[in-house]
């Protein structure tokens, strides 16, 4: 592990709305907000690194035509101007061209909608998930929540595949293998399959604790605490339900056995309340 600290800030970049019982069996029918959370790291060697991008104006452009417009009709999102990622970075004195790397959890539109705003960034993603998206026709891609218009035209020349990075032991109960994304074991990509065919979590030490950003491997920390899987309706959305449940319960076991690891799902309102910070400034 690197001796220099990694600073971490959790940003909220828009949200969508669903009944709570969709995200967690036994939850309320009441509609609740699911924020789109983005990790902003300052790494001693790599500089500024993002984990996903949340929503952006590109999402609305990419869903203007049929059939893509069905996406925003089914899961209507909102992005207040003050939550736009570019704006929040500006508030922290960070220009878009200072974002050196973007680690992509998976290619669902609410995680990659802002990629076009960072022309200098290198991307890290899983080849497996990219191939899954590319292999589908237009309608099947939409069913899978993929909007390929969101990817920069030169995406493939700027991406490194997580699978090609050295495999190391992350020292994390229940998770035996990680990809060493920075070459010094400071940023570890953890495979979290199920929600998407291949999903990349991110584990790193920041201050006294380790942070584990888990994308959509679970939607709410309450679900992990109560060991409640999402509604059966979501089986239609997930790439592999058996693997989703395996990943979910490994995370639930980790959450219970090692409170020193902070698990951060991408859409958890409770996590946002506990760890989010829309005002803190990460100085350049």
Judged by CB, which is closer to Zn ion: 117, or 129? 129
- Verify binding: residue 197, Zn ion, rule CB under 5 A: no
Q: Least distance in Å: CB of 193 to Zn ion?
A: 12
Strands of 178-180's sheet, edge to edge? 167-168, 178-180, 188-191, 200-206, 209-213, 261-264
Residue nearest to Zn ion (CB): 108
Judged by CB, which is closer to Zn ion: 108, or 255? 108
Q: Least distance in Å: CB of 118 to Zn ion?
A: 20
Task: State which of positions 74-133 bind Zn ion (CB under 5 A).
Answer: 108
Pick the piece of the chain touching Zn ion (CB under 5 A) from 42-50, 167-175, 180-188, 208-216.
Answer: 208-216
Lookup result for tokens 């059966």 = 232
Assigned token pair, 178: 């990680």
Q: Least distance in Å: CB of 156 to Zn ion?
A: 21
Assigned token pair, 272: 């946002």
Assigned token pair, 67: 């059939």
Among candidates 117, 200, 112, which has minimal Cα distance to 148? 112
Q: Least distance in Å: CB of 90 to Zn ion?
A: 27
Judged by CB, which is closer to Zn ion: 43, or 141? 141
Cβ contact 268:219 at 8 Å: yes
Judged by CB, which is closer to Zn ion: 132, or 216? 216
Q: CA 61, CA 241: separation in Å to the nearest integer?
A: 31
* H and E: helices and strands count for the chain: 11, 13
Judged by CB, which is closer to Zn ion: 117, or 216? 216
Q: Least distance in Å: CB of 187 to Zn ion?
A: 21
* Count of residues that bind Zn ion according to CB under 5 A: 2
Judged by CB, which is closer to Zn ion: 92, or 143? 143
Among candidates 36, 206, 49, 72, which has minimal Cα distance to 123? 49
Contact residue for Zn ion among 15, 36, 216, 247 (CB under 5 A): 216
Pick the piece of the chain touching Zn ion (CB under 5 A) from 79-87, 114-122, 178-186, 213-221.
Answer: 213-221
Radius of gyration of the chain (CA): 17
Among candidates 45, 46, 47, 37, which has minimal Cα distance to 9? 37
Binding site for Zn ion (CB under 5 A): 108, 216
């Amino acid at each position: 592990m690197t001796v220099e600290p990694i600073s971490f800030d959790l940003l909220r970049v828009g949200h969508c709305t669903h009944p709570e019982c969709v995200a967690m069996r036994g939850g309320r029918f009441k509609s609740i907000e699911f924020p789109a959370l983005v990790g902003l790291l300052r790494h001693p060697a790599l500089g500024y690194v993002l984990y996903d991008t949340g929503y952006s104006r590109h999402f609305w452009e990419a869903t203007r035509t049929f059939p893509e417009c069905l996406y925003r009709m089914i899961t209507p999102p909102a992005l207040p101007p003050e939550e736009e990622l570019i704006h929040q970075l500006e508030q922290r004195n960070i220009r878009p061209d200072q974002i050196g790397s973007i680690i992509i959890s998976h290619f669902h539109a609410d995680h990659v909608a802002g990629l076009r705003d960072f022309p200098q960034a290198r991307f890290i993603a899983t080849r497996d998930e990219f191939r899954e998206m590319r292999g589908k026709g237009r309608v099947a891609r939409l069913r899978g929540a993929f909007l390929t218009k969101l990817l920069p035209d030169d995406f493939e020349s700027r991406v490194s595949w997580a699978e090609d990075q050295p495999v190391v032991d992350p020292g994390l109960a229940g998770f035996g293998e990680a990809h060493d994304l920075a070459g010094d074991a400071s940023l570890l990509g953890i495979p979290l399959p199920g929600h998407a065919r291949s999903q990349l979590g991110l584990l790193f030490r920041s201050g006294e604790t380790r942070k584990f950003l888990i994308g959509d491997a679970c939607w709410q920390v309450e679900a992990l605490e109560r060991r409640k899987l999402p509604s059966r309706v979501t089986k239609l959305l997930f790439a592999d339900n058996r693997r989703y449940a395996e990943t979910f319960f490994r995370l639930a076991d980790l959450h219970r056995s090692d409170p020193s690891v902070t698990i951060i799902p991408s859409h958890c309102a409770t996590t946002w309340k506990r760890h989010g910070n829309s005002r803190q400034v990460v100085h350049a």
